[in-house]
Chains A and B, each alone.
Chain A
Amino acid sequence: MAEKYNTKCPGVKRLMREAIELAEATDEYCARPLEDNLFEWHFTVRGPRGTDFEDGIYHGRILLPKEYPMHPPHIILLTPNGRFEINKKICLSISGHHPETWQPSWSIRTALLALIAFMPSPAEGTIGSLDYTPAERKALAKKSTSWACPQCGDVTALLSSTAAKPPTEEEQTVLNQIAFKGEEEQVKPPAEPVPEPQNIEFTPQVMESSDSTTSFLDQLTEILVALLVGAIGIFIYRRWDAFATSESTEL
């Protein structure tokens, strides 16, 4: 891959270093760039212990902007999980602040640890969030282990038994502040083949989730358009009214 990119470019050098740092899978997370694209990674995380997600293994994509690490990575979950919509870009932000509070000294590892830590937090209607019941989330967690990525294979085989390096005290305070939310616009479907679940029983689940995403967005667009048309209508009506009263003789 090295010959494809300008390794003198700090962003490329940085991603290559991160790839080396994350090369060895741990029992909590692993991530690696795609064979042919240093700016797209696939990751796998284990659901946080003691939560509805603890039996789950979740897989997804990380999209790195060309300005990385000046701008934050985007995360897209592929495994249905009941906390985040799948196939939808979610981004990091410090709770209560804007996404520009991303710090270049954070890394893909920070993003993954923050994602794991953030999973059990309440959805609170944030864009890209789902508020499934604990039972639904537990059921999805159980099913998630039989999910396979067309590029990476069986997700259970991706994590290892090596214990992950525990976050430092400083890191932990940072992790506790990071929140994730969806972007306004929907992500275009991935260019590569959409992951096909191996387990047939699983198929409707995936379809259903992605369908509901699109229909929700369609609805949202419709509502917005209706609002806009309404506003224009009211505006014209008021103008017309004013016109009508002032020039009532002619009408």
Chain B
Amino acid sequence: MADDASSSSACTGNLIDNSINQDELIMKQQREIEKEISESIPLVGDLEPLSSLEKEYNEDPVYLLKIKDLTAKYKSMRRTRPDGNCFFRAFSYAYLEHLLTNKEEFDKFYEIAKNSKEILVALGFPQFTVEDFYETFMEVVQRVGEHAGGSPDELDSIREELHSKFNKQAYSDYIVVYLRLITSGQLQTQHDFYQNFIEGPRTVTEFCRQEVEPMYKESDHIHIIALSNALNAGVRVKYMDRGEGSQVIAHDFPDGVKPLVHLLYRPGHYDILYA
């Protein structure tokens, strides 16, 4: 094997070029496979018991211990498609779902949502397209508002409607886009504060253009902090990874606000948790 490696360095440039091509082909194929797997998972899945996680890790003692810890506080979960938009999709689904049973919180959120467009336009986002996303977003929000605090039957039917909207690619993505815009707006309005979170020489605006506004870009702490602050909506994220200990560590955003949305983080992905 070692011999193979050393001899290949003596090969012609042609062969090296070719191997780069091969690498690119393999990577392209890899991406396509990932895309295919990802697309076979619903944008937002049905409610399932946490025991489904155990099956996933049934030969992994580290994860099994942590799942046990998790089941002490949560009973079920809802998986989301791992397409880079999962934080935004999981958050908006869980938050709107919660608002159905919390009219007071809904009214507070509605005011913030209603005023969000003006903030974005004032920041220089193109009015024409912001309006487009805003309208579709508010259409869904208003449907939630019409039924918030309603009878159990009413809630069941609106939950179904919400679920179906979130699983229609176009609608679902429009909601994600608008939340990305709100997040970007928050980062830019408070840029002095958020600049500290950004590594490297990028400005907050550049960071927003490259990491927040484009679709499929994964969310980091900074995205969660900004969005939860912009909406003043509490999120608890349970971090489950291969780290030491048997406990799943929780982080609340923003600090000190009662969490209404509970998310499960596994490296690179967010799902929704239910007590």
Contacts and interface: CB of A to CB of B under 8 A. Distances in A.
Interface stretch (B142-150, B169-177, B265-273): B169-177
Interface stretch (A124-132, A137-145, A153-161, A165-173): A165-173
Contacts of A169: 124
A104 B215 contact: yes
B14 A102 contact: no
Contacts of A163: none
Contacts of A170: 123-126
A94 B181 contact: no
A120 interface: no
Interface stretch (A8-16, A24-32, A35-43, A210-218): A8-16
A133 interface: no
Interface string B114-146: 000000000111101110110010000000000
Contact of B210 (A13, A101, A105, A168): A101
A21 B124 contact: no
B124 A230 contact: no
B58 to A, nearest CB: 35
A105 B133 contact: yes
Interface residues of B, number: 33
Interface string B208-227: 01100111110000000000
B18 interface: yes
Most buried by B among A69, A170, A228: A69
Interface in B17-72: 17-19, 21
Contacts, number: 83
A13 B18 contact: no
B250 interface: no
A21 B11 contact: no
Interface in A205-223: none
A61 B129 CA distance: 22
Nearest to A173: B205
B128 A103 contact: no
Interface residues of A, number: 34
Given A11-B170, A234-B15, A105 B215 contact: no
Interface in A95-119: 97, 100-107, 110
B130 A105 contact: yes
Contact of A9 (B15, B17, B130, B170): B170
Interface string B170-193: 110110010001000000000000
Contacts of B14: 227, 230-231
A107 B7 CA distance: 52
Contacts of B214: 100-103
A35 B102 CA distance: 48
Given A94-B209, A97-B210, A105 B129 contact: yes
Contacts of A17: 128, 132
Given A230-B18, A238-B7, A14 B132 contact: yes
A234 B210 contact: no
A48 B19 CA distance: 42
Nearest to A168: B124
B128 A21 contact: yes
A177 B206 CA distance: 11
Contact of A101 (B132, B181, B209): B209
Given A228-B18, A238-B7, A104 B125 contact: no
A104 B172 CA distance: 13
Given A21-B128, A104-B173, 10 more contacts: A10-B170, A10-B173, A13-B132, A14-B132, A100-B214, A100-B216, A105-B126, A107-B126, A170-B124, A228-B18
24 contacts: A10-B132, A10-B170, A13-B136, A14-B129, A21-B128, A69-B129, A100-B216, A100-B217, A103-B213, A105-B129, A105-B177, A107-B126, A107-B128, A107-B129, A110-B126, A168-B126, A170-B124, A170-B126, A177-B209, A227-B14, A230-B15, A231-B14, A231-B19, A234-B12
Interface of A: 9-11, 13-14, 17, 21, 67, 69-70, 94, 97, 100-107, 110, 168-171, 174, 177, 224, 227-228, 230-231, 234, 238
